[in-house]
């Protein structure tokens, strides 16, 4: 039965990964016990690693298995067909493709194309490889990037939804996206028709940052009518894809890329979705990755809200505005520098006014005396006390005793 896939492809829900760019077989628990994702590619192995990662059908788990068996990407390319066939998941056809990768001109063509088109090729361990993606069970083996990724993009929220959005869905997407972007939160979506496009454009309109994760190549925009939107995104964010420039778009790569949309984000907001919407795949990935799942409620009579309402019944957080999203988010696993240059440890800090930020910056992790905070801020005692109370309600500080406060 076809479902509403966010990027304009209809595909069979039961075979959603058919034709995916990285065609690893389904996960099993043993996969996680014996294999680990690549966390760093040595400089002298970049060419071999890239050649291997570009082989059709070689996904993150197969790549990890090959390197674990042979020791390095270079050794994999030197292996015989007989040796390759002994590796789990490697059949005769894939063994031949891997064996031919060393002499294939695809890698050279891809690198030349990227240089001409100002596209960066990111490998695990590179300084600008998104840190949150390295926490995934199946991080992408490589990424193509057009635009820029900044440290502040680590504070991101994904927003997804149907390509057949209603006026209500468009209004909610625009309102939430603009509000989040104004607070310095990067908006992540998939450049699809409908809700995705509204979220990207809304963030751009208020000077915010946005990241579009594509199922197509970053130089072959799909849908084609979003070519200008994609160009605008590169000016205030980035286009990201696992798909190399010479690969043809396939329906299966779109649900596959949804794990990156959720993986780049602290949480996923499903704005409007039917009960068989591809946006629910992104929500499922978010739950599997330990990300927060939010859903905007809609009328019970609206087909395009059934998916959201179902998510809420299943435990997703009901949200109606940006503040509700930020208030629900927990502390960051690592501190991040915001666009204003402040060190942020909790997304709620992005909601603070100037006085609240000033007071918070003067409070240490260890109990700090209120008089010390007053001295550091040069603010009146009543103002400091009232501000500390606000910070406490936001969950940013606590009061071990009446005269001390700490983060």
- Pick the range with the lowest mean pLDDT from 59-73, 169-183, 205-219, 248-262: 248-262
Co-location of 177 and 320 in the same domain: yes
Domain containing 174 equals 131-328
Is 178 a residue whose pLDDT tops 90? yes
Q: 5 and 307 in contact (C-beta within 8 Å)?
A: no
- Pick the range with the lowest mean pLDDT from 138-142, 204-208, 239-243: 138-142
What pLDDT does 41 receive? 86
What is the average pLDDT score of the chain? 87
Co-location of 39 and 157 in the same domain: no
Percent of residues, the chain, with pLDDT higher than 90 = 65
Is 6 a residue whose pLDDT tops 60? no
> In which band, very low, low, confident or very high, does the pLDDT at 241 lie, cut at 50, 70 and 90?
very high
pLDDT in tens, 268-315: 999 999 988 889 999 999 999 999 999 999 999 999 999 999 999 999
> In which band, very low, low, confident or very high, does the pLDDT at 13 lie, cut at 50, 70 and 90?
very low
Co-location of 81 and 207 in the same domain: no
Q: What's the distance, CA 281 to chain centroid?
A: 14
What pLDDT does 194 receive? 96
Higher pLDDT, 336 or 239: 239
Co-location of 46 and 81 in the same domain: yes
> Does residue 217 belong to any structural domain of this protein?
yes
CA angle at 222 for the pair 217 and 223, rounded to the nearest 5° = 175
Sign of CA dihedral 166, 223, 286, 203: negative
Query: Could you please report the per-residue DSSP string of 160-171?
Result: E--SS--HHHHH
**CA 282 to CA 287: how far, in whole Å?**
9
> Does residue 95 belong to any structural domain of this protein?
yes
**CA 340 to CA 229: how far, in whole Å?**
26
Q: Rounded to two decimals, what is the model's pTM? A: 0.83
CATH label of the domain that carries residue 159: 3.40.50.450
What pLDDT does 2 receive? 36
Q: 195 and 271 in contact (C-beta within 8 Å)?
A: yes
Co-location of 43 and 167 in the same domain: no
> Does residue 123 belong to any structural domain of this protein?
no
For the chain, give the longest Cα–Cα distance: 77
Is 16 a residue whose pLDDT tops 60? no
Co-location of 231 and 293 in the same domain: yes
What is the enclosing helix (H) or strand (E) of 185?
none
Co-location of 37 and 149 in the same domain: no
* Count of domains forming the chain: 3
Co-location of 305 and 372 in the same domain: no
CA angle at 137 for the pair 215 and 78, rounded to the nearest 5° = 80
CATH label of the domain that carries residue 56: 1.10.150.20
> In which band, very low, low, confident or very high, does the pLDDT at 3 lie, cut at 50, 70 and 90?
very low
Mean pLDDT, rounded, for 114-138:
91
What pLDDT does 249 receive? 64
């Amino acid at each position: 039965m076809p479902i509403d896939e966010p990027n304009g492809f209809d595909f069979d829900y039961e075979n959603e990964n058919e034709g995916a760019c990285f065609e690893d077989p389904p996960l099993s628990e043993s996969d996680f016990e014996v294999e680990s994702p690549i966390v760093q590619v040595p400089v002298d192995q970049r060419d071999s690693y890239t050649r291997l990662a570009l082989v059709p059908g070689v996904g993150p788990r197969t790549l990890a298995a090959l390197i674990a068996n042979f020791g390095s990407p270079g050794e994999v390319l030197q292996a015989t067909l007989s040796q390759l066939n002994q590796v789990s998941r490697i059949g005769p056809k894939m063994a031949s493709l891997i064996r031919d990768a060393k002499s294939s001109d695809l890698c050279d063509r891809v690198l030349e194309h990227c240089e001409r088109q100002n596209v960066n090729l990111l490998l695990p361990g590179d300084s600008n490889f998104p840190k949150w993606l390295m926490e995934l069970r199946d991080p992408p083996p490589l990424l193509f990037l057009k635009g820029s990724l900044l440290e502040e993009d680590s504070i991101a929220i994904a927003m997804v939804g149907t390509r057949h959005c209603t006026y209500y869905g468009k209004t909610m997407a625009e309102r939430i996206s603009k509000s989040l972007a104004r607070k310095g939160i990067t908006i992540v979506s998939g450049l699809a028709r409908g809700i995705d496009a509204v979220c990207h454009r809304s963030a751009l309109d208020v000077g915010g940052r946005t990241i579009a994760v594509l199922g197509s190549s970053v130089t072959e925009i799909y849908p084609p009518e979003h070519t200008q939107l994609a160009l605008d995104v590169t000016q205030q964010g980035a286009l990201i894809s696992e798909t190399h420039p010479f690969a043809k778009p396939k329906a299966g790569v779109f649900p596959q890329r949804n794990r990156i949309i959720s993986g780049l984000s602290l949480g996923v907001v499903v704005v409007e979705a039917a009960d068989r919407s591809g946006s629910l795949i992104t929500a499922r990935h978010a739950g599997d990755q330990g990300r927060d799942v939010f859903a905007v409620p809609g009328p019970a009579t609206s087909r395009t809200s059934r998916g959201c309402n179902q998510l809420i019944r299943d435990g997703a957080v009901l949200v109606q505005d940006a503040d509700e999203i930020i208030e629900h988010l927990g502390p960051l696993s690592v501190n991040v520098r915001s666009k204003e240059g402040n060190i942020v440890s909790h997304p709620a800090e992005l909601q603070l006014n100037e006085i609240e930020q000033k007071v918070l910056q003067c409070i240490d992790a260890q109990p700090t005396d209120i008089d010390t905070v007053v001295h550091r801020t040069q603010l009146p005692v009543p103002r400091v006390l009232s501000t500390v109370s606000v910070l406490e309600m936001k969950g940013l500080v606590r009061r071990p005793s009446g005269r001390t406060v700490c983060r």
